[in-house]
Amino acid sequence: MSDQDKRPITANYVLEFTNKIILPRVGEIFDEKMVKFRDEILTSNDKLSVKLDKILKEQAAITASYKRLETKIQYLEAVVQVLAEKEGIKFQSPE
């Protein structure tokens, strides 16, 4: 047994032991957990970002498709209107 092991346990000894041994290790454990937690959050955010990018691209494609369809519908309605007028038929496009 060393001389340090033979020291009586006093409030000062407990305080010194806590400050020199326990608190630094608690800090290390806390830092390790925070790094792991941060990495998990960043990984999760990366996955969400990829999903959001995919959704936004799909949404842009859908919007472009709807615009093309709207243009075609308007064109066809105009053609039908002209043909109906030539035949003397009253044509009202549905709203």
Higher pLDDT, 46 or 92: 46
Integer Cα distance of 28 and 24 in angstroms: 6
pLDDT of residue 52: 97
Give Cα 71 to chain centroid, integer Å. 35
pLDDT exceeds cutoff 90 at 39: yes
pLDDT exceeds cutoff 80 at 76: yes
pLDDT exceeds cutoff 70 at 62: yes
pLDDT of residue 5: 66
Predicted TM-score of the model (pTM): 0.55
pLDDT exceeds cutoff 70 at 94: yes
